[in-house]
Structure 1
């Protein structure tokens, strides 16, 4: 697993974490925003009318209504990214990361409008009578780039695991274990059975289930979040000031948080914003292709509501909960995951200016930091290290009250070999106090409101519904891609593997899952961005033709 993590981390360094990727993603959104004259503002009111059913016609071709197509697509975006993804972005980049998530969402509203319109325009009816659409169809039927369509479809299958399956299952299991003490493998197995029961019913059952889950889960989550926000209302102003004030400077060290540079916060905010709202990724068009309408642009307008709901509303609420409660800069008792744990050579002192600056440079990927990984032996007596010469970082923070135990929870006594910053023995459990991230951070934040410790259960239930519905939606995206690549007979084997992956991820390493998702997202996004830019003139004419018809009525 460690070798796989290192490979994926290196690959991500050339893709999603590379300096160029956020500029490409935002650049395409900015181009279409200007080219189409800010459709996310001009078309917003009309989009709301379309989704309420004002223009619905039951005789139009398609499998489901505008509203159900929207909720299916929303179920694919509103998930782990809104609960764990926001927490992960703030953990990495500080408050500034939330600002760049907003920017990604605003420009992403236009990107999603474009990708859904073009994909809906070139959808096809399959042999079983259902609609199939997505970027692979406009790439194939309009651009005549079969190779690009195949590349996108393959990336969609991979991303169905990296975006919609593995992180969702992992986040659910992590939260349920923290709140109820249920073993992750049990959670994954039970939900795996339920997932199989839903996805075997195809788009009709998927749309029916998600149209009920999405509104219900949103209400539960928002109520719980507001209980925290109002309980810490005096911190709301400072939280907003930190988000905006740090946007162009980066976030300074605060509490256990060792600081984040502007470049790091920008990259993580854009990356997590994409993971949350998927604007530009090309996933939502697959769900919207099922909508009953003769006008592709009308479904495109429905889709521009997604980044607004997903990121500007729900992610902002999550961000305010985390920032106003202050938990993002606090150290909490936790079991250290191997991927988050690093032994550094030399003994660094928290609060010492020189040491803090070195670690800031190291954690933000800057050159010349002088920090080296520790290799050697550590002597441990009754769970405590009695030898020195090293510093233990966990979750990008100084670890405190560290304990070394065997897997059967007995305190360890003996020597522990460390190579390149990682312990060699796999049966040693390291625990103590450090920063936390992902769903665990949001769970703790929800306990700082009017509901007290009961708030963590709201996160667990909300995460269960959010993430489970995301897994449902992404199974549909994956099976449409498999249908394009190999035909309808390939769908059932794909679903079996999809459910198996969901169960496996429930007890796998969180960091590995997040890195895999980061790679999968970019591999899927780049072909789609290329394709919609190629069709920018057609997009403009399609939108204008739609408005000509609407104005004639």
Structure 2
């Protein structure tokens, strides 16, 4: 097993090296230029579109759930341990400047997320059950006519969903934090998770989206309120905190306290890699959920999609990072990951330390649980692409049973983390190829959409009628 782990480490380091990170961010920069920075100029319209019930309520629209529900399903899978653990790892490794580079990755990642949401709607199809199926495997096959890359994406999507980022790593996070903070044995927590996951996913996308619609806003609001309380309580330190974040993004930092020191390159790599891991822009996961939205406008769903990166990184990751720096917890010796964020909340909140621990524990549990639900749906749609709807039931049973592996004491989760990272990288490559290959279609149809609005002085809700 040790030798196998070494092989996985070599593969992972190669795949997640500078070339892939450059391609991920480079694709976002390329789209930003061609779309004329629409992730900034059209952000107000995007945020408004999230809550636009008009189109989603129309029974004549194709789709399974509202645009808001589709976004919540995607956010359920996206907002996870990366927002609490990943940010802490990034700043502990690359210094406060890593947060600045997370912002840069998110800025350009929003353009990539827009493209993914656009293509999800444009190339989606109905499966044999009458439900919508879409995502990279469909726009790779139908858009750039490459079935090999489409199948490659689907295979690694299933692996990531059932063995990697979408399942076992999240279950382990829940079981570990509940064991440490509440003393509940890991096997008991795992069984409870298996039962709860089964109750939701066996009922299909509408059940998943309903749970996501309720849990995602609740958990995000609770977490942000806790972080905002810390920032307000320490408002006098905020200017210095922001200054440190920006300064250290462009200046090497010496070792001090629990920090080992960082170069500019390390700050960039830590921030970009953890940012991409958190918001998943370019990985091809979110468009699978976007394809289920009740809408006839690819542009409109693209706008909704790109808000996912905004909420994940610009909002939640930012609050985590600022809290870590403003409290000084990031520079503490002897602790890593979630423990750093937990310490920050304990130190920063003007309440007993148990309150901070409770927020982080509940946040991790809810974030990780909803990630499991969202990724289960991603894997299901990959199964439908490869095997048809007849494979759904077996896939869900296997998905639920695999959760039980975490309860085995000898189970090596380090191997699973490596498999998760490798699977994500191998999902991203064919997805990025398709996005770049179809960028002309994305740009042309997007410009046409907004040109019709400007030329005819129409409100955004009326434009679909003009185009159709």
Please report the TM-score for the alignment, with normalisation by the length of structure 1. Answer: 0.78
Do structure 1's residue 196 and structure 2's residue 97 form an aligned pair? no
- Give distance in 1, aligned partners of 2:370 and 2:413: 20
Matched, 1:472 2:373: yes
Unaligned residue ranges in structure 2 (runs of 5+) = 463-468
Question: Once the two structures are superposed, what CA deviation does each residue of 1:255-277 show, in whole Å capped at 9, x if it has no partner?
Answer: 02111222222122111111111
> Structure 1 residue aligned with 2:338, among 424, 436, 439?
439
- SS of structure 2 residue aligned to 1:155: helix
Supply the distance in 1 between the matched residues of 2:95 and 2:7 (Cα, whole angstroms).
26
Matches within 5 A, 1:165-180: 165-180=167-182
* Residue 396 (structure 2) aligns with: 495
Residue-by-residue CA offset, 1:241-292 (whole Å, 9 max, x unaligned) = 2221111234321202111222222122111111111111111100010111
Shifted more, 538-547 versus 228-237: the winner is 228-237
SS at 1:304's partner residue?
A: helix
Distance 1:28 1:206, change over 3 A: same
Q: In structure 1, which of residues 439, 457, 460 is the aligned counterpart of residue 361 of structure 2?
A: 460
Cα distance change, pair 217–519 in 1 and its aligned pair in 2 (3 A): same
- Map of 1:112-123 to 2, 5 A cutoff? 112-123=113-124
- Distance in 1 of aligned mates of 2:109 and 2:297: 21
Q: In 2, Cα distance between the equivalents of 1:519 and 1:13? A: 9
Q: Is the 8 A contact 2:99 2:271 kept in 1?
A: yes
SS where residue 128 of structure 1 aligns? coil
Q: Is the CA contact 1:174–1:439 (under 8 Å) kept in the aligned structure 2?
A: no
1:52 maps onto 2:51 in alignment: yes
Q: Which residue of 1 aligns with 2:382?
A: 481
| Aligned-residue offset at 1:514 | 3.9
- Structure 1 window deviating more from structure 2 (22-31 vs 236-245): it is 236-245
The residue that corresponds to 1:545 in the other structure is 448
Q: In 2, distance between residues paired with 1:63 and 1:549?
A: 28
Q: RMSD of the alignment, in Å? A: 1.8
Count of aligned pairs: 449
Q: CA offsets, 1:50-96, max 9 Å, x none?
A: 21115413321111111111111111111111111111212222212
Give distance in 1, aligned partners of 2:428 and 2:197: 26
**Matched ranges for 1:211-360 at <5 A:** 211-331=213-333
- List runs of 5+ in structure 1 lacking aligned partners: 332-433
Q: 1:66 to 1:523 in 2, by over 3 A?
A: same
The alignment status of 1:131 with 2:168, answered yes or no, reads no
Deviations 1:521-548 (A, max 9, x none): 2111111111110011111122123335
Correspondence 1:27 to 2:26: yes
Once the two structures are TM-superposed, the CA of residue 512 in structure 1 deviates from its matched residue by 4.5
The one of 522, 528, 549 aligned to 2:431: 528
Q: Choose between structure 1 and 2: higher helix proportion.
A: 2
CA distance in 1 between counterparts of 2:200 and 2:336 reads: 30
CA 108–174 in structure 1, closer or farther in 2 if over 3 Å, else same: same
Deviations 1:468-494 (A, max 9, x none): 011100000001001101122222222
Contact 2:111 2:306 survives alignment (8 Å): yes
Deviations 1:1-33 (A, max 9, x none): 5444322221111111x1222211111100000
Alpha-carbon distance between aligned partners in 2 of 1:330 and 1:310, rounded to the nearest angstrom: 25
| CA deviation vs aligned residue, 1:426-449 (integer Å, no higher than 9, x gap) | xxxxxxxx2x22222222222112
> What residue is the counterpart of 1:415 in the other structure?
none
> How many angstroms apart in 1 are the aligned matches of 2:403 and 2:285?
19
Verify the 8 A CA contact 1:51 1:302 in the aligned structure 2. Answer: yes
